[in-house]
Amino acid sequence: MNITLNDRTEEMVRIYYKQSQQPIIKSMLPQKAQSEEEAISDYHKTLLPSASSYGRTIYADGKYIGDIWCYCIDRSESPNAMISFCIFDQTYWSQGIATKAIALFLPEVIQRYEIDSVGAFVYSENYPSIRVLENNGFLFVEEFTEDGRKSKYYQLTGCNS
* Domains, the chain: 3-115 (3.40.630.30)
Confidence of residue 61 (pLDDT cuts 50, 70, 90): very high
Report how far apart, in Å, the C-alpha atoms of 94 and of each of 37, 114, 125 are. 31, 31, 15
**Would the pLDDT of 122 be above 90?**
yes
Q: How much is the mean pLDDT over the chain?
A: 92
The confidence score (pLDDT) of residue 161 equals 63
pLDDT over threshold 80, residue 160: no
Average pLDDT over residues 5-22: 93
Calculate mean pLDDT across residues 35-52: 90
- Say whether pTM exceeds 0.95: no
